[in-house]
């Protein structure tokens, strides 16, 4: 019987009355593709993934492009807390769905939901371990109330945990496309990337340093990437530039993307990337467009072939014309002596009705797409050789190149070429830093000198003559630069982060 003192919430649903149907499970998992990721997507992902990696010039984010990031940096704090927030939501939902789902819900549906959560959790840990190395593995956030201070865990255990999550996901997620959500192919693609990264690490968490990767792990990477390439039936979107238009959110090529919804008033629901990267206010007409200082590095610019369609889709330069931007003016003609970011710049609310507000667009943000998996597959086939004559490698590499408008390569496929294409294909998607990291694991000295040789300066096209002028700038990282410092806030509250990592698996 209900007593005078029983006052359960009337504007929330309690756990006891939730998870009664598959639709309830979907409501809980669907909420974790968007706004909980906001703080990560807001600034951190591109600053860490592109500015630090040298895709952007040193004009902005100087402490990143000069490898002088300290623990009080806000971007580190945002990445850390946002990824751990995803983990918290996933952890608790995994526990509750496991324990509280009504028996009428099918095991397939229940495992699919847990698969989604374990995909999101494993992926978050994958980002964390790449940025920070040893991190605490937390699986039940309720225990932190009792013991807030936790040890960080060994890198090999973090990877083992991640792989277990993604394996569960790949075995339990459905194969059918469920727009905006992850499926079996998403999990296999991510798993391939994880195996490829793990293959360059020793069990003590440092890179092999020998130029060699673990063959068994490489085979796993190859197996999962190959399954996606050969058996998923998925295809690349024909036009590279179309990938970043709002109308193509969650197209066939998208394996995992953050889901945003433009909102004029609710902070944190939308994708803020356009607001920070659009070169001028006119482009967005939303009171944002803070991107004047964000220009491409000379390094990446030098790598674009003149035929490469990806350049114009990634960076806008003087003279470029974009019919999809500022449609009411008949399109946008760039008149700016410096190139700026185009990717994720979608224009005004008039160009995209209801989809653009200040620091808020509806662009889904790619975390994993098919082209990335193609190139992972090629990299896994290459394995420990500088070149390969594998037909699959050539096929998938050329699928990516063909779409970019480039000449097709012939056998053998070289790893050096593939890495350049990865940089260009995935620029301004927060991924290049991880490629450098993966290379540094196996070839530290070579990677440091490669980065040291990257021209991180900016370039200018003379407005009258269109002659290009470079302002050269170089920065050389050290081995220590390949791990970011833990955020000061948590170093302060948890001295154990400064202590050696402990095993997670006993």
Partner 1 sequence: QAVQKTVRGKVTSSDNIKDAIPGVSISLKGKKTQLAITDGTGNFVVKVATGDVLVFSYIGAEAKEVTVGSQDVINVSLVTSINKLDEVVVVGYGTALRKDLTGSVSSIRADDIAKSAATTFDQALQGRVAGVVINTNSGQPGGGISVQIRGVSTLGGNQEPLYVVDGVFYGGDVNGAIYTGGSPGTNPLATISPSDIESIDILKDASATAIYGSQASNGVVIVTTKKGKSGPPKVSIDASYGIQQLPKYLPVMELPEYAAFRNVRDVLNGAVPNPLFADPSVLGPGTNWQKAIFGTAPVENYNLSVNGGDGRTTYILNAGYLSQDGIAVKSDFKRYNVRLNVETKATTWLKLSANISGNRINENINNQDGNLVQLAIRQSPDIAVVNPDGSYGGPSSPLFTLTNPFALTEINTNTRTRSEVYGSAFADITFLKDFVLRNEIAVNYNFGQIEQFEPAYQFGQFPKTNSFGRRGTTAYNNNTFRTYLTYNHTFASKYKLNGTLGHESRLNTSSFVDATATGYFQTTNSELNLGDPAKATSTSGKSQQAIDSYYGRFNFTYNDKYTLTSTVRYDGSSKFSPDNRWNFTYAVALAYRLKQENFLKSVDFISDLKLRVGYGLVNNQNIADYVYGTSYRTTQTALGLGVLLDNVPNPDAKWETTKSSNVGIDASFFKDRLQFTVDAYYKNTDNLLNSLSLPLYSGTTPQDQFTVAKLNAPTKNIGSIVNKGIEFSVNATNIKTKNFSWTTNITLSRNLNKVTSLITENTNLPQYLGTDIVQQVAVGRSIGEFYGYIADGVFKDGADLTNSANQGTIGVNGVWVGDIKFRDINGDKVIDSKDLTYLGSPLPKFQYGFTNTFKYKAFDLTVFFNGNYGNKIFNQLKRTNEDLQSGFGLLQSVNDYARIGLKDPSGSATDINNVYITNPNTTVPRISTSTLNGNNRVSSRYIENGSYLRLKNLVLGYSVPFKIVQKVKLGYLRVYGNVTNLFTITDYTGYDPEVGSRFQNAQSAGVDNGRYPSSRTYTFGIYAGF
CB 76 within 8 A of CB 484: yes
Ranges within 77-136 binding partner 1 (CB under 8 A): 77-78, 80-81, 84-89, 92-93, 96, 135-136
Among 131, 240, 256, 260, binds partner 1 (CB under 8 A): 260
240 binds partner 1 (CB under 8 A): no
263 binds partner 1 (CB under 8 A): yes
Residue 118 in 3-state DSSP?
Answer: helix
- Give the C-alpha separation, 322 to 329, whole Å: 11
Token reading at 382: 């290459």
Ranges within 278-297 binding partner 1 (CB under 8 A): 280-281, 285-290, 292
Least Å from the CB of residue 505 to partner 1? 19
Long-range contacts of range 146-152, CB-CB < 8 Å, 24 or more positions apart?
Answer: 148/493, 148/494, 149/493, 149/494, 149/495, 149/496, 150/494, 150/496, 151/496, 151/499, 151/501, 151/502, 152/496, 152/497, 152/499, 152/501, 152/502
Q: How many CB atoms lie within 10 A of CB 233?
A: 10
Among 209, 268, 457, 477, binds partner 1 (CB under 8 A): 268
Least Å from the CB of residue 223 to partner 1? 31
Toward partner 1, which CB reaches closer, 142 or 235? 142
Toward partner 1, which CB reaches closer, 25 or 418? 25
Token reading at 311: 């350049």
74 binds partner 1 (CB under 8 A): yes
Toward partner 1, which CB reaches closer, 8 or 231? 8
267 binds partner 1 (CB under 8 A): yes
CB 363 within 8 A of CB 271: yes
Least Å from the CB of residue 167 to partner 1? 24
- Give the C-alpha separation, 435 to 439, whole Å: 6
Least Å from the CB of residue 299 to partner 1? 20
Judged by CB under 8 A, the stretch of 216-224, 266-274, 320-328, 415-423 that binds partner 1 is 266-274
261 binds partner 1 (CB under 8 A): yes
In the block, residue with structure tokens 């990717």: 343
> In whole angstroms, how large is the CA radius of gyration of the chain?
23
Toward partner 1, which CB reaches closer, 68 or 391? 68
Ranges within 438-467 binding partner 1 (CB under 8 A): none
- Give the C-alpha separation, 407 to 398, whole Å: 8
Ranges within 293-352 binding partner 1 (CB under 8 A): none
**How many residues form the binding site for partner 1 (CB under 8 A)?**
98
Among 72, 302, 389, 446, binds partner 1 (CB under 8 A): 72
359 binds partner 1 (CB under 8 A): no
Among 109, 177, 269, 309, binds partner 1 (CB under 8 A): 269
Among 186, 199, 259, 295, binds partner 1 (CB under 8 A): 259
The string of DSSP codes covering 218-255 is HHHHHHHHHHHHHHS-----S-TGGGGSGGGTT-TTEE
Most distant CA atoms of the chain, gap in Å:
85
- Cis peptide preceding 412, ω within 30 of 0: yes
Q: What is the DSSP secondary structure assignment for residue 212, as one 8-state letter?
A: -
- Give the C-alpha separation, 274 to 293, whole Å: 14
Among 251, 352, 358, 454, binds partner 1 (CB under 8 A): 358
Ranges within 129-188 binding partner 1 (CB under 8 A): 135-136, 138, 141-142, 144-150, 179-181
480 binds partner 1 (CB under 8 A): no
Toward partner 1, which CB reaches closer, 104 or 146? 146
Least Å from the CB of residue 55 to partner 1? 19
Least Å from the CB of residue 493 to partner 1? 5
Ranges within 48-67 binding partner 1 (CB under 8 A): 62-63, 66
CB 377 within 8 A of CB 396: yes
């Amino acid at each position: 019987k209900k007593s005078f003192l029983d006052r359960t919430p009337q504007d929330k649903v309690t756990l006891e009355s939730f998870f009664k149907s598959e639709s309830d499970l979907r409501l809980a998992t669907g909420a974790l593709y968007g706004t909980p990721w906001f703080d990560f997507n807001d600034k951190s992902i591109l600053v860490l993934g592109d500015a630090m990696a040298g895709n952007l010039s040193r004009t902005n984010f100087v402490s990143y492009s000069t490898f002088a990031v300290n623990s009080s940096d806000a971007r580190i704090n945002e990445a850390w807390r946002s990824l751990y927030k995803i983990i918290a939501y996933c952890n608790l939902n995994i526990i509750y769905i496991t324990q509280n789902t009504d028996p009428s819900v099918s095991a397939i549906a229940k495992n699919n939901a847990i698969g989604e959560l374990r995909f999101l959790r494993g992926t978050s840990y994958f980002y964390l371990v790449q940025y920070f190395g040893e991190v605490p593995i937390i699986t039940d956030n309720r225990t932190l109330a009792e013991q807030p201070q936790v040890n960080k865990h060994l890198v090999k255990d973090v990877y083992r945990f991640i792989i277990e999550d993604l394996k569960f996901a790949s075995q339990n997620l459905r194969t059918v496309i469920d727009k905006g959500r992850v499926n079996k192919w998403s999990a296999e693609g991510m798993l391939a990337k994880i195996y490829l990264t793990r293959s360059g690490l020793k069990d003590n968490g440092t890179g092999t340093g020998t130029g060699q990767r673990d063959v068994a792990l490489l085979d796993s990477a190859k197996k999962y990437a190959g399954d996606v390439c050969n058996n998923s039936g998925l295809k690349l979107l024909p036009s590279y530039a179309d990938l970043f238009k709002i109308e193509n959110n969650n197209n066939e090529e998208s394996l995992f993307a953050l889901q945003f919804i433009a909102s004029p008033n609710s902070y944190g629901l939308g994708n803020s990337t356009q607001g920070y990267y659009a070169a001028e206010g006119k482009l967005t007409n939303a009171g944002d467009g803070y991107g004047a200082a964000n220009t491409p590095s000379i390094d990446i610019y030098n790598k674009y072939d003149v035929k490469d369609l990806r350049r114009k889709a990634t960076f806008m330069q003087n003279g470029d014309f974009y019919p999809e931007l500022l449609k009411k003016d008949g399109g946008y003609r760039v008149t700016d002596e410096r190139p700026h970011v185009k990717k994720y710049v979608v224009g005004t609310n008039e160009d995209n009705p209801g989809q653009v507000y200040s620091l808020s667009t509806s662009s889904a943000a790619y975390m994993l797409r098919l082209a990335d998996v193609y190139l992972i597959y090629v990299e896994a086939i290459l394995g420990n050789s500088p070149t390969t004559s594998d037909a699959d490698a050539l096929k998938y590499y050329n699928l990516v190149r063909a779409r970019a408008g480039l000449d097709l390569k012939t056998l053998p496929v070289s790893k050096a070429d593939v890495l350049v294409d990865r940089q260009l294909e995935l620029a301004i998607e927060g991924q290049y830093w991880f490629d450098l990291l993966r290379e540094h694991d196996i070839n530290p000295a070579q990677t440091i000198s490669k980065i040291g040789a990257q021209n991180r300066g900016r370039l200018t096209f003379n407005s009258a003559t269109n002659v290009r002028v470079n302002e050269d700038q170089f920065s050389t990282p050290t081995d220590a630069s390949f791990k970011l410092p833990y955020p000061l806030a948590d170093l302060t509250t948890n001295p154990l982060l400064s202590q050696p990592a402990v095993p997670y698996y006993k």
